[in-house]
Amino acid sequence: MNNRRSFSIGALVVFGAMLQAPFASAQFVPIEIIDATGDGTNALDNPFGIAVDSASNVYVTGFSSDNAFKITPDGDITEIIDAAGDGANALDVGTGVTVDAAGNAYVAGQNSDNVFKITPGGVVTQIIDATGDGANALDLPQGVAVDAAGNVYVAGLLSHNAFKITPAGAITQIIDATGDGANALERAFDVAVDGAGNAYVSGQLSDNAFKITPAGVITQIIDATGDGTHGLDGPFGIAVDAAGNVYLAGRDSDNAFKITAAGVITQIIDATGDGGGNGLDNPIEIAVDAAGNVYTAGILSNNAFKITPAGLITELIDASGDGAGNGLDCPQGIAVRADGIAYVLGNGTDNAFKIAADCNTNGMDDELEIADGLAADCNADLIPDDCETDGDGDGTIDDCDDCPADAAKTEPGLCGCGVPEGDADGDGVCDDADVCAAGDDNVDADGNGTPDACDGGGPAPAGECCGGGMPAMMPILLIGWSRVRRKRRKTAP
């Protein structure tokens, strides 16, 4: 346990550059992130559950290898739990996995009838066992979920129930085989929880799903009739978005449904898959991102799809896997980050893939391109700059360009956007607005609006005095007046 294996980012990027997968022309590319070798020391056999946290760490359980792994964004792989469990309680057949906001992972043991908590520091603790809440047993746990408060939820397949475990360790059965009292729950497979603490449980053999409020009110939200036109048969995976919309995968009906908070039911995908020849066969798991895009995988069609809120369906990966020899067989689980980066595991190929963004369709993972310095990302949004808008074509994207409509500038500078930069006389006034290009526009001693450097050689000495307080023009005026008087005296009779 706790051995590590690392994949070099540089190596992955070089590999991506050589990739000629069928998806290389799309804006995503499958990248294998773990295979049967596990962490290099501890193998991964028949992966079953997959989850991803807010830091993009991925968690995968091994059904037949009785363990679970953590894969970091950099490709470091660590076994976080093995068959020894917490040392006192074993883990037998790893199934469901989830992770909370603090990075604690939770792994269910199907045959050991228990669930473990694994802290980021590696401390492993059993939080529930076959005794359930002490009065109601837990048998063959499958799906696990965790809410914002750290409460953990687990579904018992053969005990036909689900439990809530608080951070303090209090365990409560929240639903049993009686369902809502009128509609039974048979074979509880998966569980999800929303931001309000409402839990949702799927019934594999009862062909339905239930909502359980924090107050314990139980309501059936869908049954075998599906949306009234398209039936629901063998529901497995269940997910819920921030708006309270619930998503359910029907394995045996080869479809998936959306159930709104108001109870409106709509089939969002069926056996035809994307309608372009890529069918969906036996979907098991389902996931939803922050934008309301839904993801599901077909365990028998060996593929995975994305369904947008507008109903656009796209196949993300098929049996060819990454197209470089790492195939995908029996995709048991699917998980997705809030930003829409999906992860798919292959139960039959003992591996997992990241469906990486590839905005420039060069066959490389955008995030790895950026991390390895092969692509610029000035606004740190994990999208290469060459995929973002550059309205003025100056090589700086609009998000990082303070003059997005001026190809000559990325900052306003002295003169502002759209105005050529220049200050020939160094007076701090842009040439385009410079009244006096010969000097400092800011010096205007006589206040006449014309800078001194352009005011006829300098300012007029208005109001300046010349000795004894007499104005400068007065001597000339007095001399002229005196001569006139003398002339008049000479000519007087």
pLDDT of 256 > 50? The answer is yes
Q: Longest C-alpha distance within the chain, in Å?
A: 148
- Confidence class of residue 18 from pLDDT cuts 50, 70 and 90? very low
For the segment 251-255, the average pLDDT, to the nearest whole number, is: 98
Backbone angles phi, psi at 487, to 5 degrees: -65, -40
pLDDT of 101 > 70? The answer is yes
CA trace torsion 372, 374, 380, 385 (10° rounding): -170
pLDDT of 307 > 60? The answer is yes
Q: Are strands 114-118 and 208-212 parallel, antiparallel or unpaired?
A: unpaired
Q: Are strands 333-336 and 58-62 parallel, antiparallel or unpaired?
A: unpaired
- Confidence class of residue 475 from pLDDT cuts 50, 70 and 90? very low
pLDDT tens per residue, range 44-97: 999 999 999 999 999 999 999 999 999 999 999 999 999 999 999 999 999 999
Which domains, from first to last, does the chain contain? 4-387 (2.120.10.30)
Tell me the pTM.
0.81
pLDDT tens per residue, range 104-136: 999 999 999 999 999 999 999 999 999 999 999
- Confidence class of residue 24 from pLDDT cuts 50, 70 and 90? very low
What pLDDT score does 477 carry?
A: 39
pLDDT of 361 > 70? The answer is yes
What pLDDT score does 483 carry?
A: 41
Distance CA 50, CA 70 (A): 10
What pLDDT score does 461 carry?
A: 52
Alpha-helix runs per DSSP H in 285-393: 366-371
Positive or negative CA dihedral for 368, 371, 376, 377? positive
pLDDT of 467 > 60? The answer is no
Higher pLDDT, 473 or 124: 124
Token pair for 150: 């750290």
What pLDDT score does 6 carry?
A: 52
For the segment 277-282, the average pLDDT, to the nearest whole number, is: 98
Distance CA 369, CA 179 (A): 50
Q: Is the Cβ–Cβ distance between 130 and 146 less than 8 Å?
A: no
What pLDDT score does 5 carry?
A: 54
pLDDT tens per residue, range 322-359: 999 999 999 999 999 999 999 999 999 999 999 988 88
Per DSSP (E only), the strands in 299-382 are 303-307, 313-317, 333-336, 342-346, 351-357
The per-residue pLDDT of the chain, averaged, comes to 88
Higher pLDDT, 488 or 447: 447
Distance CA 472, CA 481 (A): 16
> What are the distances in angstroms from CA 125 to CA 61, 86, 102?
16, 6, 16
Q: Which residues pair with 287 in a beta bridge?
A: 295
pLDDT of 17 > 80? The answer is no
pLDDT of 490 > 80? The answer is no
Distance CA 75, CA 482 (A): 107
Residue 416: name the closest of 428, 427, 426, 430 by CA: 430
pLDDT of 410 > 60? The answer is yes
pLDDT of 457 > 70? The answer is no
Residue 255: name the closest of 296, 220, 302 by CA: 296
Residue 293: name the closest of 276, 268, 272 by CA: 268
pLDDT tens per residue, range 177-217: 999 999 999 999 999 999 999 999 999 999 999 999 999 99
For the segment 139-147, the average pLDDT, to the nearest whole number, is: 98
pLDDT of 440 > 60? The answer is yes
